[in-house]
Amino acid sequence: MSRIELMEEKIKEILKNSARQLFPKIKISEFQVEHPEKKEFGDYSTNLAFLIAKELKKKPSEIANQIAKSVEKEKIFEKVEVKDPGFINFFLSFDFLFEELKKILKEKENYGKSKIGKGKIVVIDYSSPNIAKPFGIGHLRSTIIGQALYNIYKFLGYKVIGDNHLGDWGTQFGKLIFAIKNWGEKKVEDYSIEELEELYVKFHKEAEKNPQLEEEGRKWFKKLEEGDREARRIWKALVKISLKEFERIYKLLGVKFDFALGESFYEPMTKDVIEELKEKKIAKESKGALIIEFPKNEFPPVIIQKSDGTTTYFTRDLATIKYRLKRWNPDLIIYEVGADQKLHFQQLFKTVEILGWAKKTKFVHVAHGLYRTKTGKFSTRRGETVHLEDVLKEAIERAKEIIERSETSRGLTEREKERVSKIVGIGAVKYNDLSQHPSKDIIFDWEKVLNLKGNSAPYLQYTFVRCQSVLRKAKRFQIENFKLKIEKLKKEEIDILREIYKFPEVVQEAAEKFSPNLICNFVFDLAKSYNLFYDLYPILKSEDEKIKNFRLILTKSVAQIIKNSLYLLGISVPQRM
């Protein structure tokens, strides 16, 4: 499905053709076709009449009536109406809406897929945890928003490359090596990641009393960059311990990457980048360091090489971009990184522009808000962090309590309950995050993170399970050659029909706006509409066979769209819970 195949684009084409015929001398400027806020105003509405009326110096309602009359016989419309002062509202035909249900059941998990991205390459940089630190709750946002964007772009036909840019290089490793050498009580290989975090916190607490320790940390990082055998030995052990921990968490979250190239991978490439910056007179010396100053002081200067000769993560990020451009030649590079790095990415993208590296590549920083405590930002240095594994384990335990009380879980074995608890608990944590706009800060609150009611993954999963239960009992129903007049339908059934077909355009909008929360909003509204219908009307006990058949088709379609939506969000659905 391409962009032009979406209903809003079809309506735009119909309106453009109508306007050209009715007003051949008027140049049609860009106009809107969108969903009205209130359902009584139809499925789509347009402001086209206002733009033409302004050119012709006529009343918008007069122009609107002319356009409405010229398009009302189009098969896709049930009716077209004009609302003062000149909006044109479109109600989609029942034939179209029912054909869309058939399409959902025919295409199943492929419904909503598109070829819009065919031939285009997208690189998504996400998760990127720091080595030698446990996975904190703060890492969750980049990891799951990035994975959702990966799923969405792939669904739309793009070739997607997911890269976990591990933070495995920098001064923090000099500090940790110093701590291990001076306060360590066992072989570095025997440390757990929690113990390494304790050493890192201890370094910063001691450095507050003795600032000279900061210099000791810098010295050890310089040794690491220069290839000192002892520094490299300890660093390699730290990386190995951390990767083992990360893989365990990623497996629990159901997150995968195509590449996991850390900062250290790009460190040997930084020399060439620095040379190019010097040759092009972009870098200049300042107090023994190398810096970049931006034209018209658009941004503060940035250091690319410290006075002691060590590199910065800005330099390594430049090397990363150069590598990605050469290896993949992408159309788009998305950085799913916290909003506190906004200035860094503005400086980075501007430097790439000055260097003239990217001719066709677009760079986007999806700046997610941060998980915060009630007093401020989480800080590993101060020892204030909530470990993600603790959150996930508690979510699974809470989900298990709900499943034990659920009527639909009867007959599940203990092993099945464990599996479903995992799906529901982890889904709850993910959805709590994904359902909020990426830019929004989230105050960490156990009750909100583990919300298993209302607008939550368990609510959607339960709706899916409810649909599956109905379908299991029904066994069979007819889709082909099925006919039913809209007059026989209830308002709640029509509301579902007028909601469900929007799925493909919601997916494309989520990609365009880098906002998985749009899919959450859509699927929650759909689930609410279905549950209202379910509570009001019989399905299997409906006396009219045609109505029963239609309600089963509706149920199967809703189940499929919930499943497709949650798949894009990286959330599984159980068959029973």
Stretch(es) of the chain classified as CATH 3.40.50.620 = 126-377
pLDDT over 90 at 176, yes or no:
yes
Helix (H, G, I), strand (E, B) or coil at 576: coil
Q: Which CATH class is domain 3-92?
A: alpha beta
Q: Which two tokens stand for residue 394?
A: 């508690």
Mean pLDDT over each residue of the chain, to the nearest integer = 92
Query: Percentage of the chain surpassing pLDDT 70?
Result: 95
Decide: 55 and 8 in contact? Cβ < 8 Å. no
Output the pLDDT for position 412: 85
Spatial strand order of the sheet with 371-373 comes to: 376-377, 371-373, 442-443
Cβ count within 10 A of residue 470: 16
How many residues would you count in the chain?
Answer: 577
Q: Are strands 302-305 and 332-338 parallel, antiparallel or unpaired?
A: unpaired
Q: Are strands 159-163 and 121-125 parallel, antiparallel or unpaired?
A: parallel
Condensed to tens digits (0 to 9), the pLDDT of residues 525-543 reads 999 999 999 999 999 998 8
247-274 average pLDDT score: 95
Of 76-85, 342-351, 362-371, 451-460, least confident by mean pLDDT is: 451-460
Output the pLDDT for position 545: 86
Q: Which two tokens stand for residue 506?
A: 């919601």
pLDDT category at 21 given cuts 50, 70, 90 is: very high
Task: Report the run of H or E that residue 43 belongs to, with start and end.
Answer: none
Report the alpha-carbon distance of residue 506 to residue 515 in Å, rounded.
10
Output the pLDDT for position 401: 86
Output the pLDDT for position 527: 97
pLDDT over 50 at 448, yes or no:
yes
Output the pLDDT for position 1: 45
The model's pTM: 0.91
pLDDT category at 402 given cuts 50, 70, 90 is: confident
Asked whether the bond before 85 is cis by omega within 30 degrees of 0, the reply is yes
338-351 average pLDDT score: 97
Task: Report the run of H or E that residue 287 belongs to, with start and end.
Answer: none
pLDDT category at 375 given cuts 50, 70, 90 is: confident
Output the pLDDT for position 4: 43
Of 36-45, 185-194, 357-366, 398-407, least confident by mean pLDDT is: 398-407
Of 111-115, 166-170, 419-423, 542-546, least confident by mean pLDDT is: 542-546
Q: Which CATH class is domain 388-437+447-568?
A: mainly alpha
pLDDT over 70 at 470, yes or no:
yes
Output the pLDDT for position 135: 87
Output the pLDDT for position 3: 44
Output the pLDDT for position 452: 67
Report the alpha-carbon distance of residue 573 to residue 424 in Å, rounded.
8
Of 17-21, 129-133, 172-176, least confident by mean pLDDT is: 129-133
Output the pLDDT for position 407: 66
Query: Under CATH, what is the fold of the domain 126-377?
Result: Rossmann fold (3.40.50)
Select the more confidently predicted residue: 387 or 444: 387
For the chain, the 3-state helix, strand and coil shares in percent, each to the nearest 5, are 60, 10, 30
pLDDT over 90 at 484, yes or no:
no
Stretch(es) of the chain classified as CATH 3.30.1360.70 = 3-92
The strand pairing partners of 83, in sequence order, are 87
Output the pLDDT for position 137: 85
Select the more confidently predicted residue: 49 or 446: 49
Decide: 156 and 117 in contact? Cβ < 8 Å. yes
Output the pLDDT for position 543: 87
Stretch(es) of the chain classified as CATH 1.10.730.10 = 388-437+447-568
Report the alpha-carbon distance of residue 229 to residue 210 in Å, rounded.
27
pLDDT category at 2 given cuts 50, 70, 90 is: very low
pLDDT over 60 at 382, yes or no:
no
Report the alpha-carbon distance of residue 461 to residue 5 in Å, rounded.
30
Q: Which two tokens stand for residue 359?
A: 């001719």
Cα distances (angstroms) measured from residue 142 to each of 149, 390, 399, 515: 10, 18, 24, 13
Report the alpha-carbon distance of residue 167 to residue 162 in Å, rounded.
16
Query: Percentage of the chain surpassing pLDDT 90?
Result: 78
205-219 average pLDDT score: 95
pLDDT category at 381 given cuts 50, 70, 90 is: low
Report the alpha-carbon distance of residue 474 to residue 41 in Å, rounded.
36
Backbone angles phi, psi at 103, to 5 degrees: -65, -40
415-433 average pLDDT score: 93
